[in-house]
Amino acid sequence: MLSNSLIELDRAHLVHPVASYRGHEKAGVRVIASGAGATITDAAGRRLVDGFAGLWCVNAGYGQQSLVEAATRQMQELPYATGYFGLGSEPAIRLAAALAERAPGDLNHVFFTLGGSDAVDSTIRFIRYYWQAKGQPQRDQFISIEQGYHGSSTVGAGLTALPAFHAGFGVPFDWQHKIPSHYAYRNPVGDDADAIIAASLAALDAKIVEIGGPERVAAFYAEPIQGSGGVLVPPDGWMKAMCDRCRSLGILFIADEVITGFGRTGPLFACTDDGVVPDLMTTAKGLTSGYVPMGAVFLSDAVYATIADAAGTAAVGHGYTYSAHPVSAAVGLEALRLYEDGLLANGVKAGARLMAGLHALRDHPLVGDVRGRGMLAAIELVVDKERKTPLPAAAEPSRRIFDRAWDNGLVIRAFTNGVMGYAPPLCCTDDDIDAILERTARTLDQTL
């Protein structure tokens, strides 16, 4: 049983990420005590299906003993090694090599971080360095997409386009620009794929002109599927079209795969779905299946060589104490083995069942849109399907939907705009997926 004192201690001392501090104090924490497969158990002993894999990160599921053993072995042998001073550790080197071998195109160079936000932050530093090295320091403007999320670091939060991450924090900076999202369900040009792609290209072109021409633009950032914006799936060909346009203008194209990497949409990296080879790519979350913190920035041969040659014998002054942490790297190597030994394949199978089941809910009076790919999905609730009228925020705040699903034994993400998000572990069985679907239907019926 959860003692009241734990709730009190949390209330008094633990500052939670992205939370209403006062709201949380009032509600009190829900403590998760353990997990196995796709299931978590709370401190009161209630079992729930985790339809969101923690924070879309526990891709391998809970209780994977080989991940625990990899961490234990590495901790016993060498719990820490720095990458500074020309030093390194075997798991970090092997993981970098394994990732480079599997990454699209010539993304052959890997810089390890602690998570996604510092991976995005690192790309900004690498890109600025790159353009200085190319003799084009005026390429210092960055473009990303409305509803996009690129983390919560001081600088990277300005590439993020969710208002909660801006208000009161002094971002975005004036060199951080946005173009509208491809969001098919509410796109002013409708849901036709060609029209959406044309509109995104036109918006990018117009933004580049507004900024002062392509020679001012350093980079364009895109998530293969916009996650935190509400699981917004671009039409097939959208990434490729945007990447090609950037390349034709000499603008670096960055794929932020922090959510979509490591089997979330099917393959190891979602940009391969569209045949895209970005100039830089960010990952985290599934890299270690959330068991230990780690992120990674992938750099193309050309980006890496330009930075390396410009620096010459001087240090490229970017790095962290915990870059390439050996314990995280050992877990990453084992996670990669698990993905390739069956988890990716199971995720594809389970994802098809999940998507089919969610599409079957389309006839529910509240379900306006169903979207997703693989084990990344969402349903968008509306009160009027014809007019696509969102749920009134005051009457049905996302917290209530989350709570109702929780009471039904299901963890989902309830976005503020009436969107229910799904990112279950790739190890889900048919029964797990069916439980997610049945509990979703029950939650919807109770929301009517």
Q: For residue 402, state whether it binds ligand PLP (rule: CB under 6 A).
A: no
**Cα–Cα distance, 182 to 248 (Å, whole number):** 21
Q: Which stretch binds ligand PLP (CB under 6 A): 193-201, 221-229, 390-398, 399-407?
A: 221-229
What part of residues 100-119 is at the interface with ligand PLP (CB under 6 A)?
Answer: 115-117
Listed in order, strand segments (DSSP E) in 66-148 are: 109-113, 141-145
Closest distance of CB 222 from ligand PLP, Å:
10
How many helices (H) and strands (E) in the chain?
13, 16
Which residue of 223, 273, 279, 334 would you call a contact of ligand PLP, by CB under 6 A?
223
**Cα–Cα distance, 311 to 129 (Å, whole number):** 9
- CA nearest neighbour of 333 among 62, 58, 71, 63: 71
Q: Which stretch binds ligand PLP (CB under 6 A): 143-151, 192-200, 385-393, 406-414?
A: 143-151
Length of the chain: 448
Which residue of 67, 92, 103, 120 would you call a contact of ligand PLP, by CB under 6 A?
120
Closest distance of CB 125 from ligand PLP, Å:
15
Q: For residue 230, state whether it binds ligand PLP (rule: CB under 6 A).
A: no
Dig out the tokens for 181 from the structure: 């999202």
Strand 39-42 relative to strand 32-36, pairing: antiparallel
Q: Which amino acid is at 29?
A: V
Measured from the CB atom, is 91 or 116 closer to ligand PLP?
116
Q: For residue 149, state whether it binds ligand PLP (rule: CB under 6 A).
A: yes
Dig out the tokens for 400 from the structure: 């209530």
Which residue of 139, 150, 364, 373 would you call a contact of ligand PLP, by CB under 6 A?
150
Q: Which stretch binds ligand PLP (CB under 6 A): 162-170, 256-264, 302-310, 357-365?
A: 256-264
Give the C-alpha distances (Å, rounded to integers) separating 393 from 324, 331, 406: 43, 41, 19
Q: For residue 259, state whether it binds ligand PLP (rule: CB under 6 A).
A: yes
Measured from the CB atom, is 232 or 366 closer to ligand PLP?
232
Closest distance of CB 138 from ligand PLP, Å:
27
- CA nearest neighbour of 379 among 435, 418, 430, 428: 418
Dig out the tokens for 109 from the structure: 């160079």
Please give the residue ranges that form the binding site for ligand PLP (CB under 6 A).
Answer: 115-117, 120, 149-151, 223, 227-228, 256, 258-259, 284
